[in-house]
């Protein structure tokens, strides 16, 4: 038996320390001998006030069990238990009340105060040993749980740090991906066009762009890479480089940088071969590649599994263009066809990803092509206003539901014969 001044720091091999609280010196001495025989380190207190003083000292964390008499002068056992539970302790103390009461209501009061167990007085050594053994088992289980909780917290902290690092990397990747894109608004003699790209995550698998062909023709590209992850975004970046709007030397549409471009269907053939022979992943993409003559309004395009481009006539009628075609990078030897259309002054041409037509409302209903055509029919005026009107229409249909796919579109308005359109590309 030791007083508070004799307490030693807990070591990894220290015995469980128990605090005995009893106003009877003889009972404290008897219990101390019994508990020491059970391989417990015993500290005693003559009343609840002394016990609380010990429990608020520097050595409080060493005390893992409390064995307290019920009837004591001043604060009784249940009140002491309640006060102990209100202390800010890092480690749980198993609290056993000693009482001669057999009344269930009295025991209920002890449980409500926070007691874990009871020992009947006069104390039976076998019963006390069983109660102590139960307490030890519960404390051991609690220690194991605390260790597991610390491991879980540490793992969660590591995961959070990893997540934060990934988010920072994705934010930088988003900046790089945006740097590959052509300007979102472009005006040439005879037409104007606007691009819009809304990714469902930090980075996306959609691409829209334009590039100059010569003084009076412009190329338009709309691509949707399968999937939504980092691999899709990497391929999108690669394709953005293949359709460089800055230099025809780096644009796959120009097999000879000093000559005319390859026709849209030949470009798709080249890309299909590139995807199947040089890439080993299962990723593929859909696309529309269109060449627009800004003098005549003639459009030559290839649709490769992409949604049908739409033409809004000056009088508000909306027409779909194309016959579908296979995706790029999925079928060896796939055949791609060229389609032609004609724009008149005041007409607009829209190429877009399926994120628009598959936009869902709160009930899971998709907008579909007919819904998009209805929105486009109301679009007129500058193309910047047009893409905003389409975006607003999508948001109105979604009704607050977040887009679960990337949204991309390219809207060109044909104004009439071009006297000459700057190339916008370094030869």
Confidence of residue 180 (pLDDT cuts 50, 70, 90): low
Task: Report the share of the chain in percent with pLDDT over 90.
Answer: 56
Q: How far apart are CA 34 and CA 14, in angstroms?
A: 18
In contact, 203 and 394? CB cutoff 8 Å: no
Q: Which residue has the higher pLDDT, 231 or 179?
A: 231
Q: How far apart are CA 406 and CA 356, in angstroms?
A: 8
Confidence of residue 237 (pLDDT cuts 50, 70, 90): confident
Mean pLDDT on 208-235: 88
Mean pLDDT on 366-389: 93
The per-residue pLDDT for 17 is 92
In contact, 4 and 57? CB cutoff 8 Å: yes
| 3-state SS assignment for residue 121 | coil
- What's the pLDDT tens digit per position in 15-72? 889 999 999 999 999 999 999 999 999 999 999 999 999 999 887 778 999 999 999 9
Task: Give the residue extent of every domain in the chain.
Answer: 4-149, 181-414
Tell whether the model's pLDDT for residue 353 goes beyond 80. yes
According to DSSP, residue 58 is labeled: T
In contact, 237 and 416? CB cutoff 8 Å: no
Instruction: Determine the CATH number of domain 4-149.
Output: 3.40.50.2300
Tell whether the model's pLDDT for residue 331 goes beyond 70. yes
User: Dmax over Cα atoms in the chain, in whole Å?
Assistant: 114
Selection from 64, 69, 61, 62 nearest residue 45 by Cα? 69
The per-residue pLDDT for 14 is 52
Selection from 48, 49, 42 nearest residue 4 by Cα? 42
Selection from 54, 42, 51 nearest residue 16 by Cα? 42
Question: At what angle are helices 368-377 and 383-398 packed, to 10 degrees?
Answer: 140
Give the 3-state secondary structure of 200-241.
Answer: CCCCCCEEEEEEEEECCEEEEEEEEECCCCHHHHHHHHHHHH
Q: How far apart are CA 364 and CA 151, in angstroms?
A: 41
DSSP assignment of 268-319 equals: HHHHHHHHHHH--SS--EEEEEEEEETTT-EEEEEEEBPPPPEEE-TTS-EE
The per-residue pLDDT for 354 is 92
Mean pLDDT on 317-324: 92
Instruction: Determine the CATH number of domain 181-414.
Output: 3.60.40.10
Q: How far apart are CA 189 and CA 372, in angstroms?
A: 28
Q: How far apart are CA 108 and CA 40, in angstroms?
A: 28
Q: Are strands 41-45 and 285-293 parallel, antiparallel or unpaired?
A: unpaired
Token pair recorded at residue 348:
């607009």
- C-beta neighbour count of 86 within 10 angstroms: 9
The per-residue pLDDT for 176 is 65
């Amino acid at each position: 038996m030791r007083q508070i001044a004799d307490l030693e720091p807990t070591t990894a091999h220290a015995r469980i320390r128990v605090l005995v609280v009893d106003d009877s010196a003889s009972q404290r001495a008897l219990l101390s001998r019994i508990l020491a025989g059970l391989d417990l380190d015993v500290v005693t207190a003559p009343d609840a006030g002394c016990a609380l003083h010990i429990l608020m000292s520097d050595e409080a964390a060493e005390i893992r069990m409390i064995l307290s008499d019920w009837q004591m002068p001043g604060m009784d056992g249940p009140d002491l238990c309640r006060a102990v539970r209100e202390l800010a302790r890092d480690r749980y103390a198993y609290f056993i009340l000693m009482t001669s009461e057999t009344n269930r209501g009295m025991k209920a009061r002890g449980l409500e105060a926070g007691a874990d167990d009871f020992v009947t007085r006069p104390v039976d050594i076998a019963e006390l040993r069983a109660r102590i053994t139960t307490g030890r088992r519960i404390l051991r289980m609690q220690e194991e749980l605390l260790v597991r909780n610390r491991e879980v917290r540490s793992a969660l902290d590591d995961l959070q740090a990893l997540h934060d690092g990934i988010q920072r990397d994705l934010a930088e990747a988003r900046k790089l991906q945006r740097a590959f894109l052509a300007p979102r608004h472009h005006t040439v003699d005879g037409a104007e066009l606007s691009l819009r790209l809304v990714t469902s995550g930090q980075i996306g698998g959609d691409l829209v762009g334009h590039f100059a062909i010569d003084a009076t023709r412009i190329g338009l590209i709309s691509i949707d890479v399968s999937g939504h992850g980092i691999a899709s975004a990497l391929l999108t970046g690669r394709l953005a480089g293949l359709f460089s709007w800055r230099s025809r030397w780096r644009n796959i549409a120009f097999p000879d940088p000093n000559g005319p471009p390859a026709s849209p269907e030949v470009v798709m053939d080249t890309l299909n071969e590139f995807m199947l022979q040089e890439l080993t992943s299962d990723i593929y993409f859909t696309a529309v590649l269109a060449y627009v003559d800004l003098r005549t309004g003639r459009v030559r395009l290839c649709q490769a599994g992409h949604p049908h481009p739409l033409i809004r006539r000056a009088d508000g009628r909306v027409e779909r263009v194309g016959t579908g075609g296979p995706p790029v990078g999925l079928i060896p030897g796939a055949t791609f066809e060229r389609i032609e259309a004609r724009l008149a002054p005041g007409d607009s041409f829209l190429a877009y990803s399926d994120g628009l037509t598959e936009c869902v409302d709160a009930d899971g209903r998709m907008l579909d092509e007919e819904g998009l055509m209805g929105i486009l029919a109301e679009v007129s005026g500058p193309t910047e206003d047009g893409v905003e009107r389409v975006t607003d229409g999508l948001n109105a249909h979604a009704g607050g539901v977040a887009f679960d796919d990337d949204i991309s579109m390219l809207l060109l308005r044909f104004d009439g014969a071009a006297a000459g359109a700057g190339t916008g590309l370094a030869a």
